Structure 1
């Protein structure tokens, strides 16, 4: 019975993590394109990711953010900004999992937003 309960809790943590990375990537891409320059866009995207992950109970240390632009000028009208969020979901109820690198899953999600013509 205990292994079944642990399995259900672990699957719930992974599902919550997948919701977190999808929401974080989506919000980060939206706030990035709303900023006036790439530096403030990156800062706003990082804040959006941290907030979205915190809503699901995941610490910032378990996540990383990648941003890419096509073409290279991120703030040019019509540019596509893609934000990818990576999250490591640890095994639940294992107090020393960081030392042993015991992870339940590695999750990632991407979202793309177009920079508007009229900004």
Structure 2
């Protein structure tokens, strides 16, 4: 009887497992990190829009509404770790004939932001190109008695 020839592949399964495992694990970890960052910023934009619209709708007058909205927005940006330079806020009033906000109108606050992908260097504007835009919108009805001092 002849003996089987020695195989050249002895012990290569462990090496293949490590290489293929790393090749699959690194993109998976990057995806999890990226999705976590996008989720955090999305929740932050949604909270900023909702709370800003709410304090504007519940404020007694325009000066208090502006001050409260600015304070809430700054707090939410800080709480969610958002970049204040990448956050923009737009306020419109539905059903308002004059200045916004006004009694009986619906305040619509839109918060837009950009999430930069992790590990993308700010070289040649790559961080701007490799970013994900997010947007959140919230509406709040303003009382008919708003600004009347009651």
What interval of TM-score do these two structures reach, taking the shorter chain for normalisation? 0.7 to 0.9
Structure 1 residue 2 displacement after superposition:
1.3
Aligned residues: 118
Moved beyond 6 Å, runs of 4+:
none
> Quick check: 1:11 aligned with 2:38?
no
Answer yes or no: is 1:79 the counterpart of 2:98.
no
User: Does residue 139 of structure 2 align to residue 112 of structure 1?
Assistant: yes
Rg: which structure is higher? 2
Q: Offset of 1:50 from its aligned partner?
A: 2.4
Aligned match of 1:21: 45
- Displacement of 1:118: 3.3
Name the TM-score, length of structure 1 as normaliser. Answer: 0.85
Give the gaps of 5 or more residues in structure 1: none
The two structures have a TM-score, normalised by structure 2, of 0.69
Shift of the alpha carbon at 1:96?
A: 1.7
Report the aligned-residue RMSD: 2.1
Which residue is 2:7 aligned to?
none
Going from structure 1 to structure 2, the CA distance change for 1:98 and 1:14 (only over 3 Å counts) comes to farther
Q: Return 55-64 or 74-83, whichever deviates more.
A: 74-83
Aligned pair partner of 2:125 in 83, 99, 102: 99
Q: Distance in 2 between matches of 1:102 and 1:50?
A: 26
Cα offset for 1:97?
Answer: 6.2
Match of 1:49 in 2: 73
| Distance of 2:107 and 2:93 partners within structure 1 | 5
Q: Secondary structure at the match of 1:93?
A: coil
